[in-house]
Structure 1
Amino acid sequence: MEVTDIGNKEEGKIWHRKPTPGKRPRPLTVVRTAQQAKTVRFLHVAFDTTGDSFLAGDHHGNIYVFDISRNRFRLVQKTGQACTSLAFSLRRTTEFLVALADYTIKCFDKDTKQLVSWMRGHEGAVSSISVHSSGRYAITTSSDTAQLWDLDTFQRKRKLNIRQSVGIQRVFFLPLSNTILSCFSDDSIFAWESDTLFCKYQLPVPDCGPRIFYKAFAVTRDGKSLAAGGRSNLMHLWCLDTKQLLRVIQMPTQVRTVRQLEFLPDSFDGGASQTLGVLSQDGVMRFIHIHTCKLLFHVGSHDESITTVAVSPNGRHIVAIMDNGSVNIYSVQSLTQELNKVTSKNVMNRVHTKSYHMS
């Protein structure tokens, strides 16, 4: 795999050899070495709404924009402290949000490099930022609260307090709606109206099969299907229209914990994504078809394990932060073409499914 060391550069090329127009870009590893050849670890990545550019924040608080389509990277901010989460899908497309180690959230402009606003209110590290599909609102989540912000005024609209006995795992907007999902460590999932925080419904906690202890969640672009996983090699696939558990998917035995879930968008699926990426404790992200339950392809390995992944909204690229602190950029087209080298016999029955109907 080609390697680009951005060092202390403030801008430059991503690929040294420009990808041929019309051809998929080659897989690439981005590293950053500072003085005395010490590696500065990247911590978080986030795509913009086009899927052609992504943010990457490192341990020193530097924020870079990588423009895949133009083959350029640029240093856009020096925050001076490590980031805990990023968001790059705001209504004003030059702006981005960065949650910092001091529990604050700042909004910067990538072009002017100016501070736009500074949001305070969390008493713990912000672990995730969810932006509404309009780009106007954001939900920031820490271990004790989830806070809803208006990104036009940068004022807090709502605050959802959490009982300490029930740890909050994730709070996020459903696509194309004003519904907020809140997911807790006791496997309970609630849906709220974002304007009033009125509880719209609760998904029934499955009373059959082993507990999963949800930690990871993903929703299809049409907002109709929810995948949930946790401390198990089992995953739940929910239909949010009917509030029913559609199926339980069992991953291969080497999967013991699901760390992250991401649906892979396809321009021809109408938002009902069929491919789900499952990042497990072994650092491998396995992409499966949620209906046939075939294992399609994977990224990462035991020697090159992944800690977190971002999937571009257009489904063309996957960006992974590796255990060694580097960033790997993959072309989905390159990964899926590898399927032609694998017979269906080799991938069948690697992932199993069971269908449960809630009473």
Structure 2
Amino acid sequence: MPKFAYRDALKQALTDAMREDPDIFVIGEEVGRYGGAYGVTKGMIDEFGADRLVDTPISEPAIIGTAVGAAMAGMRPVAELMYVDFIGMAMDQLCNQAAKIRYMFGGQIGVPMVLRTQGGTGRSAGAQHSQSLEAYVMHTPGLRLAMPGTVYDAYHLLRQALVQPDPVVFIEHKSLYAISEDVDLSVRPPEWGKAVVRREGKDLVIVTYSRQVLHVMEAADELSKSGIEVTVIDLRTLSPLDFDTVRTEVEKVGKVMVVSEGAMTAGVAAELAARISEECFDFLEDPVVRVAGEDVPISVSVELEKNSVPGATLIQDTARRLLA
């Protein structure tokens, strides 16, 4: 099997899709000649040209607004937002327009665009470039949300996003771009919106997504050494949310932890914990436990940044307390 880096899998997905569909183009800051802030589109301008790798001024509303209009007109744009932290700059274009167009036009017009962006911690980028704002997107009806935590999913979820009839926000974790895996990209992926059980265990279910999949798997390996076996669910997409898989695994085990890098208060972990508590109440042996980011701005300090979000050690310690 070939070895792919996360960023290379994303590039391959874009390249394959653009070769197949001439209506797909990429638009954003430095996506063309520079190759993208994280190197995902590096060199693609040589094959596709400046008409399909469109460099823009530094204006998030202009980037997203142009993509919305192009999608309504029949194109399939891939808009790159350099940091998810800037999503607030384009909230009208994304949440009032892209997310609502199909409804406002009675289903006659859709917005088949993908908004690629990155979020999360791990590069000491400071409070304005290190947030996990997926809850903003998940809260908005009409938007789809994909958050791949593996190289394999980086490729396949992006390919799947590029054929959806409605807008997809595709959040890549900044600390995953350089990770590499031996992966056969030709293997048939799970269907769009389907979660994956990455590990099965009898003692505890941990539900997570994006980079936290790696931390949870590391914690599960360590817990296994002391006889604690954990089921790990990688949600892959948060909208649509595959709650059927979550429910099935929770009903088997009865103890649940939800892990998210986003802030604890009113975040994705809160939504998941509430829904599990409501829909799986009769099967729960204990309350659902949330492990999430601290309710603080992310520090540029390496140690403060690292300790403001969940890691493998915190996940292990929380699991042991839950099972004590």
TM over 0.5: no
**What's the TM-score, normalizing by structure 1?**
0.27
Higher RCO, Cα 8 Å, sep 6+: 2
**What's the TM-score, normalizing by structure 2?**
0.29
Q: Considering fraction of residues, name the structure with more helix.
A: 2
